[in-house]
Amino acid sequence: MAEERQESPGEADAWAELVDTARRTVTDGLVVGTSGNVSVRVGDTVLVTPSGVPYDRLTPDDVTGVDLEGRQVLGTLVPTSELPMHLAVYRHTDARAIVHTHAVHATAVSTLVPELPPIHYMTGALGGPVRVAPYATYGTDELAENMLHALADRSACLLQNHGTLTYGATLTQAYDRTAQLEWMCHLWLTARSVPGLTPNILTERQVAEAGERLRGYGQRG
């Protein structure tokens, strides 16, 4: 049962941003229907998309939140079935937001290789070559454990025959990392499909150098 408490103003703002981000995953073709899920941490509360509810039907009154042990503290809608993955990331990393999708190119790559080859320097923005977590049934602790191993020193991973998971300091950062990962997977699949040619792959040093430069990328203020 949910605790009888009202959301804080910060939680209300975070929920609105979460819903916008979830809707964007559909608009940008990263998920179909109600697949995938999004969460954001506000203090010790994790706001998360509810299970099986189309994102365009979510309203401010549908806020769904749990504590770090998975106990529901806000709302009455059942949280996403992938809650174990989200909570595992929050318990073991400094993540403040998570995006999980079933993006088609990334999911295709997850069926082919144990990690996405470093086809582009944006690999450095994710901590290095993106690993594939071995397959496990969705919503299980086994999947969460496999995911954590794949995420070691990374901010993104692929889930074998399933999809993607990325995290960041904000929902915007987590989403951008998801979009970059899907783009790199599309790029690699496109390059490797050319008959008789093999894509050039960046070296570990090249990826590391790009990662260092990307940490200072953008406006300062």
Compute how many other C-beta atoms are within 10 angstroms of the C-beta atom of residue 181: 30
CA 91 centroid distance within chain: 15
d(CA 184, CA 171): 20
Query: Closest Cα partner for 49 from 15, 88, 8?
Result: 15
Q: Which of 4, 7, 17, 82 is catalytic?
A: 82
Q: What is the dihedral of CA 204, 93, 87, 98, to 10 degrees?
A: -60
Is 182 an active-site residue? no
**Length of the chain, please?**
221
Whether residue 162 contacts residue 108, with contact meaning beta carbons closer than 8 Å, is answered with no
Q: Which residues are catalytic?
A: 82
